[in-house]
Chain A
């Protein structure tokens, strides 16, 4: 059984998965923030390597990428960062990355080094399931789990392909669009979760647009194994760039609040 499946079985509740861009707003603060997230109740970490052209991301994460790149974050440094995180506490770590960064590093070398650093799974934002084999065999060979996206506009036939290629969890995109905060929960997410439940036993983590504790609760109640919160958390960084103490405090309090609500369900 995979790391994720194991964890989700043990938890017996929905897992909380915060997302950070590695190196945002700078390497040290970023590390402090990730530690804060772990201490405040994160069950799994989803970490992204900053890229110059993140087409799957909305404005909040685009700005985070720019901040991290200005602070000189690179793929190699990001892997070292992941090592520090897993030394601090060995939570499962899912990586979100754009293909060109992996391609330039060398697919096999990148995946091996990520595994070595303590990584658990990899998701390439701009690889569709048709191109799963550019990454999946090499990931499996080094002992990583694979994660692919399912979107509300996907046919059952394509979802079936995702099910076949996934060894970690199914990254369930709650809406049609990019990452970013939303006021309401997309009305497409619950039908999608039920559709997935009818097609597979694999763990389902829901992301994109999950912004409030209430959204997280609804997604959890709809049967998600994990809820991924990105832009809402990254926004605390953006809003407190001149006060890292406040930044950490807000990130910690928010994660703690969501964790408690999920735990009570």
Chain B
């Protein structure tokens, strides 16, 4: 491998030898094309005319009144497919195309990345296989149907906890025997190098646009930037453009599940310890022997015991702060935000919003907070209905 892929001591590529040629291939392809004018132009056109970029930065006034400070939401929920995942799927999908690959595989939790990859598979005429834990297949079945409609094959994974972690395991295993013609379109800013770097790169438009929109619409930078953290792609996408603006606080919100004092959560950065999972040295939820824990979270997209290595680095260096909110807080804010704004936030993104509710009364009224509304909540309606039945 040409680069070590480290963020401080975090990151790296802890994978079986057989995968190295495939990762080297992607690393080389990315270096070759990411700044190639033709590639950049084609991707930019797809971002605009296929995905719907730039996404708006919207002042959620009625919600702001509820929390007592100014909340601006970055509307990634409005993108094609309903989430930020399309940014990365387009970028890596186009890279796969430039590299001459004919087949895509991807893992998915909530189904948003699986859907984004399936859309791009259809767009580029590539055969697509999506690995999804059987628990997630059941709880996100609308997305499963959409993926199939796009022509993808959805493989229900029943190993381990039957969620995102196991879907990644099986996608990696499948890849080891199909590396010659298959591109693994990794869905979050985690996994082995070069994925954290590549995913971050293709998600940076969230940050560059947000920063410019703040300057244009508000005449200044925000005080805080808040995003939910599963593997960390939407968060690193928006954080990346503000890292050098040292006065802007960066806050990542993880899935607190039934409470971080219980064992049923997926708050990896808040409660985990340093370990190695899925190719990266990072924070993981594990027992004292290094066996990876099962996780619990109302939102399938956050239900993962690892996290992208750059977030581990931002946490340890103190540049970003990570916290968690519970399922109940998330359900509360889902209702509150929908009623206040007429926008259904994804349960993942609702974690970021719930953090704001927890800040109510603690911040001056003119505090400017930008929240990454990473996805829309249509996929979650039946889950919300199950927990909070409308009579």
Contacts and interface: CB of A to CB of B under 8 A. Distances in A.
Name the interface size band of chain B.
20 to 34
| Most chain B CB inside 10 Å of its own CB: which residue of A53, A103, A131 | A53
Nearest to B23: A128
Interface string B264-277: 00000000000111
Nearest to B290: A104
B286 interface: yes
Interface in A122-157: 125-131, 148-151, 153-155
B160 interface: yes
Given A126-B279, A177-B176, A101 B15 contact: no
B288 A104 contact: yes
A69 B17 contact: no
B278 interface: yes
Contacts of B21: 153-155
Nearest to B171: A55
B177 interface: yes
B382 interface: no
B17 A104 contact: no
B179 interface: yes
Contact of A99 (B14, B17, B159, B169): B14
A7 B104 CA distance: 46
A176 B177 contact: yes
A244 interface: no
A35 to B, nearest CB: 26
Contacts of B160: 52-53, 66
Interface of B: 1, 12-21, 159-160, 165, 169, 172-173, 176-177, 179-180, 275-279, 284, 286, 288-292
29 contacts: A53-B160, A53-B165, A54-B169, A55-B169, A55-B172, A55-B173, A56-B173, A62-B159, A74-B289, A100-B276, A101-B290, A103-B275, A103-B276, A103-B290, A104-B286, A126-B279, A128-B15, A130-B20, A150-B17, A153-B18, A153-B21, A158-B20, A173-B17, A176-B18, A176-B177, A177-B176, A178-B173, A178-B176, A178-B177
